[in-house]
A and B are shown apart, each in its own frame.
Chain A
């Protein structure tokens, strides 16, 4: 954007064009260099972790940036932790089930709610919307204890249900999608109604396809929240076979952290790879999602 304006102004003053250009190019090169150095520094810890996962030396002490000996033994320990921790694939499977189910359910439940709020006002819907906005101010951590008691009373602890259900209700998601649906041109939603479509058909075949960017943004945010959650799974599960990856990481740390830190590094890489891959392929939606969080208020 600013390069465009720069060329626009230099065009109006052709005399200064030659003097300005190399200067601008030098400024750009300098800014790029500074930003690149910072960016590389920022990724250094991730790089250390990746290298560490192949490091044959057993402890952190004396392990240099570049290990003197490389090995894949750390990675095979993840599958056969000799009873010291849960097989990492079990945790990976648990995390995948939880994150995928939570994402799909959240998309359905939140988009239906948003559709009702935007297009089908019901008795008390205005009140419901203000309650949702107000509830966003209450930190989830505050209701941790009663929520645990509730799940315990229903016998849902140590089940996928306990890990999935809290992520299905996204207050932010409803506000986001309601905005998307409210901004849809009335002609589109009304046209289908004139053609005799009922509310469900209207929602399923007109509205949902039109708000795909909003759904993608919400879906990614829910997936990341469910995949990365630590405190709730820590409370809601006690059996090792129900551990999600963040919990398994900590188990691996206490089992191997002192003697073979390479195993811990390998498990960490496994846990952070899916979110980073999602980021790689859906950067646009993640950026939109995070930027929206800031602008919603």
Chain B
């Protein structure tokens, strides 16, 4: 179990590294530099700014600095560090220490500072979405499976199909319009309504969680139907256990394992779905900030947020893999 855990933990590093390489490479293909302002900045000032933020260094590797270090007679580690004294590796080393560099558009602010300031709202939204999807999705799936081919079953299948197929941002728009026209819920909330855990989070949370909820419903239903046919369920019934005990102790435990496995992709969907939902509902979170930075071409902000999201997704997958190994002993031995 320990070696499985360590191997799984270490796998996050190459994944994030690759995401960083791809993002960095692509971002440097984009035209326009960090100092593009409406009023052009003097060439000298630009050179000074570049020197200050290390933007005058080579993009990937710095063989000149390595040679210089070798000429100074420094040891192999210092030479290696000098060889990697490039924009990319300095960024990576900084990122590993939690330093994502300055925002190109919000002058004087660091990317990680903005992310940390905006993260609580996103986390609260995600929490509402996860709670909604699990608390509604699992019972709906169980109900559908236990009362197969009845009204309940069709209802749960219907909700699941809608939720799986219609993209959340379309549902978000229709929900906002519906709520504001029918019940007078204001489409744009006041800024102070997002402080604390207010009612403002309910609608965006439900919309964000809808896709995951639908997926959980479908999966729970399918796996309950599978388990229902197993011999050990018949055994449990034959030895006279109450229906309640059969369902709770024998069916649920076994049928929820596949549900846990999809929570990883579900976390990814929640994380990446969140920025579009946040931007539509005006939730002051990382996602809204990300969308704004896309429209403003704030490259350092886009890059920092992408890495942050990739880290969240990787950690989400990791937790799920670990809990899966914990739930089902067969997985542990296989790895």
A binds B: no
Chain B interface (Cβ < 8 Å from any Cβ of A): none
